[in-house]
Structures are given as C-alpha cells and as structure tokens.
A = this chain, B = another copy of it.
Amino acid sequence: MRCEVVAVGTELLLGQIVDTNSAWIGERLARAGVDCHFQTRVGDNIERIVVALQVALGRSDAVVVCGGLGPTPDDVTREALSVLLGVPLVRDDEVLARIRALFGGRGRAMASSNERQADVPVGATVIEQRRGTAPGLICPLGSAGGAGARPDGAGGSVIYAVPGVPREMTEMVERAVVPDLEARMGQRSAIVSRVLRVWGEAESALAERLAPRLAALDAAGNPTIAFLASGIEGIQVRITAKATTAEAAAAVLDAEEAELRSVLGEQVFGVDDQTMESAVAGLLGEHGLTLGLAESMTGGLIASRLTSVPGASTWFRGGVVSYAGEVKFDLLGVPPGPVVSEPAARAMAEGARRVLGADVGLAVTGVAGPGDHEGVPAGTVVVGVALAEASEASRLRLPGDRVTVTQLGAISALDVLRRRLLHQAGEASG
C-alpha cells in the first residue's frame, strides 16, 4: 500500500509555517506499514490542488490531503475534491447541525461562512470532528475512477481530507485514517512500536552502551531499535517489532523492553507518551505525598507541566514563582546570601513545603543567561528537595541558550525529584 501526503496552504510555500503535519503523517504511515514515497505542498488554489492530487493518485493507492477545510474563502480543499472527483458538493444537514450546536454551546452566533464546512462531495464519507469544527472526508475513487484514478485502473484508490490544525489532524488520522488504510490493506503483518523514554545521558553515550545489544539485534533483524533525540524531552529509544499477530509482536516488544531496561536502569522514566511529570505524579500518588514548588529560573514552567497531568489536584498543592529576590526572602524565608546556591535551593524547597502545606518541597534556582549573574555562569541550576526528615540540593550545569536552559532545567529538576522518590520507595520498603 502506497500513500502520499498533500499539505495544502500558501503559508507553507511562503515558509511562514513549517510543515510539521506531513512529517507526523509520514512517521505514522511508516509505523502502519504503509509506504510513503512522495509528499507535496501546494497553495490555496483549486486548480493546483487538483493537479497535486492527480499526480499523487497516479503514483499511489491513497492520498492524505491536509488543510484547506476551514471556513474562510481561501479554504478550498472541498472545492478541489469536487472538481477532481467530478461530483457536486452537497450540504450535509447532520454536520451543519453539529457545527451550529458547537457555536451555540459557546454562546456565540455562527457566521454563515461556517456553513461551507458542512459541504461534502457526493459519495464521500464524513469523518466526525472531535476537536474543532471542520469534519474530515473519506473520498473513495472506484476503479472506474475520475481523472485521478490510477492509469492501470486497478483497485480503488482513496483520498482522505483532514484539517490542517495539528491537534485536530492527529486525532482524526489516528481514529479514522489509519484504521481505514489498515482495513484496505486487508491481511497484514502487525508492526508495533514502543518507545522507552530516557533521561540522563547523551545520545552518543547511550548508543555506545547499547552497542552490543544493537549488534545482536542487527543480526536477528527483529525487533529493531532506533534512537530519536527529542531535545528537551530526552532521548526516545524506539523498539519496533514485526509479527503475524499483534499479540506476538507485543510479546517481542515486552522481551526487548526488559532487555533494554536491564542496561538502562532508572534512566528510563517512561514508556510511549508518558512524560517526566506523569512519572513524578505516579510516584507521588504511590506514596500518598503532596508537592509544593518554588521556582525562580524556570518561571512557572514546572508548575505548568505538573498541573497538565490529569488529577494533579490530588497531590499538587501549588507553587511560588519567586522571580524577584525579595519574593524568595520575604515569602519563602530564604536567608540572605547568594540565591543560586545549595543553601538557597534547600531553603526555597523548605519554604515551599511550609508555605504551601505540602509533604515534599521542590525548588529550582539558576542562571538561564544570557551571561553570568552575580558571578554564577549561565547554565548553572541548583535543585532543592525538602522532605519532612531532611532537605538536599544538587547542582547541575546545562548547555544551550536561555530558552533551552530553562526547559532543560525544568525536566532536570523533575528528574532529580523522580530519582529521590524512587529511592524513597527503596527506603520505605527496605
């Protein structure tokens, strides 16, 4: 099965937006075992969208066309599909009612331009929208086909139209497009992946440590391992297994995960979509501990990440963003002295614990840059952790510019807390 991606949007061609959608779709197709040989970007122009789709259909069995489904006049993917398929657009009452209801629910009147989003080419199936207004479309091209049918007339090809807003697109591709492609492929081999998320080592060092295992796998051919540096979210080690059934493939994944964990140990903080904050949340929940936070350099980023975890209110008490020095001294009770130091980080953590009424206090102070601050070089971060029995501080040195240091500081601080809580577990059960 070959599937191309056509991304629609003049802003993509003008370089005002980088086309991350196609990369995401390409990766997702590859994981589903679908070959993607070409990806095209085209502007908001009916004739040129038709050309791009025709070219794609001449080479492949399926096309995902992404973008141009919005309510404004420059959104013309629906019209292009109508031209390509040689069928009229018909307003779908059910879709229209749903869009109207969405606007009603927000207490706003729907502009008449939104009605266009309910237009559906005759013969197409609507993919329900769950995150926005524009529905997706599945447009099958029979073997009799329109202008875009494959020259050999074999089989039926298909066009999937999905919105260009990434969070709407990804949800729709996962829920409707990939399953439909898989159904069309008929019997297939199961290709499944699992990602181990790792923090605490450079990619090259990690690769070196895993080299013997990689060599052994290269010989066997299944599963395969790939590294993906995801910057401030650490390194992803992806295991991909192929088998005749999903169960058999999952068993291969399980065995390989155990193998890799025996090498990587507590560097593995999560699996697949698990984030560092969800790992911390899990450990706090496990031990029935609440958390209070004091951040200066990270400026609210850690609080923001922690509160994004569903159910955070059961263990997160709150935080103090002590950006001005006086806030550290007056509110958190940090004693006078250098604010980027072990004593200050410990005092901040103790202060957060006390002021916010939490079992555990976590504090971050540091210099994001650019340039030194009070003689402390940029990239210096001190993390404090306070528990009922004692407090401790760790000093880190992080690379990069202001934004990178801030983001690395946030995940590093969470990792310090995660490892402390892992050992807490050991102490409690020891």
Contact = CB atoms under 8 A, between A and B. Distances in A.
Given A111-B207, A304-B299, A308-B406, A15 B19 contact: no
B14 A19 contact: no
A263 B102 CA distance: 27
A107 interface: yes
Nearest to A402: B310
Interface string A304-334: 1111101011001111111110110011000
A202 B37 contact: no
A306 B299 contact: yes
Given A14-B27, A302-B300, A303-B299, A317 B308 contact: no
A37 B30 contact: no
A159 interface: no
Centre residue among A102, A320, A326 by max chain B CB count within 10 A? A320
Contact of A40 (B12, B40, B208, B323): B40
Main secondary structure of the interface of A (DSSP, over half): mixed
Contacts of A397: 106-107
Interface stretch (A71-79, A175-183, A248-256, A413-421): A71-79
Nearest to A300: B303
Contact of A39 (B41, B167, B205, B306): B41
A59 interface: yes
A229 interface: yes
A429 interface: no
Interface stretch (A44-52, A84-92, A137-145): A44-52
A200 to B, nearest CB: 12
A74 B228 CA distance: 10
Contacts of A106: 397, 399
Contacts of A27: 14-16
B300 A11 contact: no
Interface in A16-57: 16-20, 22-28, 30, 36-45, 48, 51-52, 55
Contacts of A105: 399
13 contacts: A13-B38, A14-B26, A14-B30, A18-B23, A37-B43, A55-B55, A74-B226, A108-B202, A113-B208, A300-B302, A303-B323, A317-B327, A319-B319
> Closest 7 CB pairs between A and B?
A299-B307, A300-B303, A15-B27, A111-B204, A300-B300, A319-B321, A300-B304
Interface of A: 10-20, 22-28, 30, 36-45, 48, 51-52, 55, 59, 70-74, 102, 105-108, 110-114, 131, 165, 167, 193, 195, 202-205, 207-208, 214, 226-229, 231, 238, 240, 293, 295, 298-308, 310, 312-313, 316-324, 326-327, 330-331, 355-357, 397, 399-404, 406
